[in-house]
Structure 1
Amino acid sequence: MSGYFSEARSAETVIDRIGAGADPRLRRIMTSLITHLHGFIKDVALTEKEWEQAIGFLTETGRMCSGTRQEFILLSDVLGASMLVDAINHRWPAPATESTVFGPFHVDGAPVRQMGESISLDGKGEPCLFRGRVLDTDGNPVAGASVDVWSDNADGFYDVQQPDIQPPFNNRGVFVTGEDGRYAFRGVKPVSYPIPSDGPVGRMLAALGRHPWRPAHMHFLIGAPGFERLITHIFVAGDSYLDSDAVFGVKDRLIVDFKPADNPTDGWLAEYDFVLVRRTQ
C-alpha cells in the first residue's frame, strides 16, 4: 500500500512512520494522539486560517510562561484536562480524601513552621484557624506527615503574583504532624479570585462566554512515608462559584463549612480530616 499522504489515510500514514525502535508507551500515546487529532481536523473541516490561529494561540501561550506563571497549566485546567488526568491517576477507595488540581501557584521551599503558627505575613484578611487530623484509611493517625499549605490573600492574589506587594511566602507554610496526626495553623479565610485572564487563555474563556473565577479555597499537599501523596483543596461552603469553578476542581466532599471560631481572635474555624492511602509499591 502506498506510503504517500492522502486525506483518507492521513492518520494511518503518519502512524506508519513511527520507527520500530520507539518506546512502546510512546508509540501508544502518539498513535492515539495522531488518530484523534486527524479525526478532529476532519470532523470540523478545519480551515487554514483556523489552523494558523491555533498555532498562534499556542505560540502566545508559550510566550506567557515564566518562572512565576504557567499559562499552559491554566490552559490544561480550564479545558478540564488537568482534572481528568488527576481522576484517572487517583482512583482511590473510600474513605480516602479526594484529590484535585495542583494549580500553577505552588512554591517549593516554603518554611517549616511550628504547629499553630500563622502563615499570614501581611496581617490582611479575616483570620482563620485551620485544624484537623491526617489519618490512614483505617482511621489511625499518621505521624510525620508533611502538610504543605498555600492560599491567596485578602485581595485574591498569591504572593508570586505580587512580588513587590506581598512578602515572600505570604500565606504559605509547611507543618509536620506528631504522633496524634493533628495539624493546626492560622491564616486568613480564602476569597474567590479570577485565574490570570490577561493572556490567551483568558481571551479564550471570554470568547466561550465563560468566567475566569475560582471559588475560595485553601491548597493542601500532604505527604508521609509509605503513603500516596495527596494534592487537594478545601473549599469555602456557600461560595458563589462552587458550581462553576473555572478549572472544575470542586468536589462535594471537599466543601467545608467555615464557622465562627470559639476564640474571637481566630475569626473563623475550618476543620477537616485528611485520609491518606497506603502506597502499594
Structure 2
Amino acid sequence: MLKFRRKILQASAGLLLAGPLFSQRHALAQTPACDDSPTPRQIEGPYYTPQTPRRSNLIDGLPGQRLLLEGRVLSADCKPVANAIVDLWSCDSEGVYDNTGFKLRGHQVTDAQGKFRFETLVPGAYGNSSFRRTPHLHVKVQAPAAPLLTTQLYFPDEPLNQRDSFFNPALLVKLQQSGQQAKLASFDFVVPVQAKG
C-alpha cells in the first residue's frame, strides 16, 4: 500500500511539473490588440437568405476544398462577446449560390469566450469578363447590445483581389494551415458593444 501511495505522489508531482510546460506548448495565440475601430462593413449582396439553420458544418456533401473558419467576436476593448450570432454564407467552388435551400449557409452562437467555428468550402470566383468577384465569404454578426454587422471576408494571395472593387485588405482571413484536404482560416470580428447602464 505504501509503495502504491508513493507512485501516485510521484506521478502527481510529475503532472504538476509538466502542467506549465504543456500549457505553454498548447496555449492559444494571444488576442491581437484591439482599438476602437470596428470590423469594416460591406454590402450584403443579392444572395442572402434569412433564417438559416444553426449548425457548424455547411458543406451538405458538396465537392470542393474544405475550409475550417474559426475566430472570435470581440468588443473594441478586446473582451469576448458571448451569445453573438454569426451567420455565414457563400457560393460553392464553382461560384454558384444555393438560392433555394441552405447549402453553404448557416449560423452559430458564440460561446463564453466569443468563439465560433464553421466547416464550409473554399468559395470560387464568379462573374463575367467586365465584373468578376474574387472568392469571398459573406457574414452577418449580431452581438447583444451592438448594431448588426454585415461584411465579407477575403483570402490572401488571390489574383482577383486587386481587381474586385469591394476587396478590403482589413477583411483578409489569416490562413494558418493550407493543405490539399482543408484550409484552416481565422478571423476575429470587432463590434462596438454598448455598455449596459
Deviation at 1:257, TM superposition (A): 4.1
Larger relative strand fraction? 2
Deviation at 1:123, TM superposition (A): 2.7
User: Which whole-Å CA distance do the structure 2 matches of 1:137 and 1:259 have between them?
Assistant: 24
User: Which whole-Å CA distance do the structure 1 matches of 2:193 and 2:115 have between them?
Assistant: 18
Give the equivalent residue in structure 2 for 1:125: 64
Q: How many equivalent pairs are there?
A: 162
Give the equivalent residue in structure 1 for 2:97: 158
Larger relative helix fraction? 1
Give the equivalent residue in structure 2 for 1:201: none
Matched, 1:271 2:186: yes
User: Which whole-Å CA distance do the structure 2 matches of 1:157 and 1:258 have between them?
Assistant: 23
Counterpart residue identity of residue 260, structure 1: Q
> 1:141-175, CA deviations, whole angstroms, 9 ceiling, x for partnerless residues?
00110000000001111001xx4xxxx20000010
Give the equivalent residue in structure 1 for 2:32: none
- Answer whether contact 2:174 2:187 (CA < 8 A) is retained: no
Q: How does 1:95-106 map to 2 (within 5 A)?
A: 95-106=37-48
Gaps spanning 5+ residues in structure 1: where?
Answer: 1-92, 198-209
1:242 is paired with a residue whose SS is helix
Deviation at 1:122, TM superposition (A): 2.9
Give the equivalent residue in structure 2 for 1:189: 122
Counterpart residue identity of residue 122, structure 1: G
Pair 258,106 (structure 1): closer, same or farther in 2 beyond 3 Å: same
1:234 is paired with a residue whose SS is strand
- Answer whether contact 2:53 2:107 (CA < 8 A) is retained: yes
CA RMSD in angstroms comes to 2.1
Normalising by structure 2, report the TM-score.
Answer: 0.76
Deviation at 1:259, TM superposition (A): 4.2
Q: How does 1:204-223 map to 2 (within 5 A)?
A: 211-223=130-142
- Answer whether contact 1:100 1:250 (CA < 8 A) is retained: no
Gaps spanning 5+ residues in structure 2: where?
Answer: 1-34
Deviation at 1:279, TM superposition (A): 4.3
What percentage of residue pairs aligned between the two structures are identical? 29
> 1:23-67, CA deviations, whole angstroms, 9 ceiling, x for partnerless residues?
xxxxxxxxxxxxxxxxxxxxxxxxxxxxxxxxxxxxxxxxxxxxx
Give the equivalent residue in structure 2 for 1:169: 102
Matched, 1:252 2:194: no
Give the equivalent residue in structure 1 for 2:157: 238
Higher alpha-carbon Rg: 1
